[in-house]
Structure 1
Amino acid sequence: MAKAATQRDSENPKIDPKDASNRIKDPDQWTTGDEPMTGAQASYLKTLAEETKEPKAFDPDLDKAEASKRIDALRKEAGRD
């Protein structure tokens, strides 16, 4: 029985560490990407906008996907990559 479970686990892309497809997705492919950004995203985005001296980068009306893209861009600009 344990052998069957181990084989099943090794074929499961959610468990397989070599398969990043379930861990990293393009925000444009998110099924919930058009929902309002989360509180954590808003807080982090505001912090990054202040740190990079780009206050216009923060827009409270962004959706989750756009907020994620903007966070990634500001992280690079801030040298947090």
Structure 2
Amino acid sequence: MRCLYCAHAMGLATCPLGTVVPILNRPENADILDLLNIPKDYEVAINMALGYPTESPEPPIRYSDKIKIVL
């Protein structure tokens, strides 16, 4: 998470892409890790899209009275 905040502080936009992780860690996709120069003894934990934002939308209004916390 820290790298997401650091990138934001530098004016970059980020998006964590956790759904790609299981795909990259499959043995049959080892060639993709080779293309990305990821060592064979490493395992992918998270992927991140990174770039300069083209827009800065306002965050949506949060309605705390409509949130229900279930414990």
> What TM-score range do you get, normalising by the shorter chain?
under 0.3
Q: TM-score, normalised by structure 1?
A: 0.23
Query: Comparing both structures, which one devotes a greater share of its residues to helix?
Result: 1
Q: TM-score, normalised by structure 2?
A: 0.24
Query: Comparing both structures, which one devotes a greater share of its residues to strand?
Result: 2
